[in-house]
Structure 1
Amino acid sequence: MSYDELLALVCDRGGYAAPEQAEQAVIAVLQVLASRLCPELAQTLADELPVFLAAEFEDARRGEAETFGTAELFRRVAERMGTQTTTARWDAGAVLSSFA
């Protein structure tokens, strides 16, 4: 899937008014996931991402994979986006369902 196709899909699923909003959500979710995934799984995901997003994702990877659940994932996405956790839950759903 191309970068533009991904943004269009996230826009549709998230109900965003502009692709820039979808892009912000995609980057925030991928950056949080980067800290959670083991190196092998992270590489598998990076290999499937458009080049720009793969670079964002790999830049966010540091050291060992952290262990945290969905509540912490939503909290971190909210922190990166400057939103509430409820909104971040919606954003994460729009992004992750677009990769499914």
Structure 2
Amino acid sequence: MAMRWDSFIAAVQDRGEYATQEEAERSSRVVLALLGAHLVGDVRAELAARLPEALSLVLRNPLQAREPLTPERFIRATAAWIEGATEKTATWDVSAVLSVVADVAGEDLMNRVLLQLPPGYDLLFGRPRPS
């Protein structure tokens, strides 16, 4: 069952300690648009199905990535898409959004998401793995 829009945005706003709902929405859209470019097939479809409809569409119609971005480059790309962002604030934005995504996804789907991503994304989702 998909998470409701207001619940998702409230969770991101809380984790990101954003002053406004608009900031949480902007971060959510940018991060999910970049994430969607890295996921394919059933994994992307299943994750999209658990997100609020507006964010599900963002994940399914991603910004195109020519190659999978390392976690560091993912953060830099996020900073480039958010006006006034720095790598430091973008790291915060990415973590706020992806930790909520991880909660929504659950462990099984999260494991399959991480298999499609370059090493190191487990930390961005707040799900560090033993090496």
TM-score > 0.5 by shorter chain: yes
Q: How do 1:49-88 residues align onto structure 2 when only pairs under 5 Å count?
A: 49-60=51-62, 62=64, 66-82=67-83, 83-88=85-90
Distance in 1 between the 2:13 and 2:30 partners? Answer: 15
More helix per residue: 1 or 2? Answer: 1
Q: Identity of paired residues, percent?
A: 32
* Kept in 1: contact 2:36–2:58 (CA 8 A): no
- Partner residue in 2 for 1:47: 49
Higher relative contact order (CA 8 A, sep 6+): 1
Gaps of 5+ in 1: none
Gaps of 5+ in 2: 104-131
Structure 1 residue 7 and structure 2 residue 19: aligned?
no
Match of 1:36, SS? Answer: coil
Calculate the TM-score normalised by the size of structure 1: 0.89
Q: How do 1:33-44 residues align onto structure 2 when only pairs under 5 Å count?
A: 33-44=35-46
Q: Per-residue CA shift, 1:10-59, capped at 9, x if unaligned?
A: 11110101100000000010001011112332112111111111112212
Amino acid in structure 1 at the alignment position of 2:48:
A
Amino acid in structure 2 at the alignment position of 1:81:
I
Structure 1 residue 17 and structure 2 residue 12: aligned?
no
Answer with 1 or 2: which has the greater Rg: 2
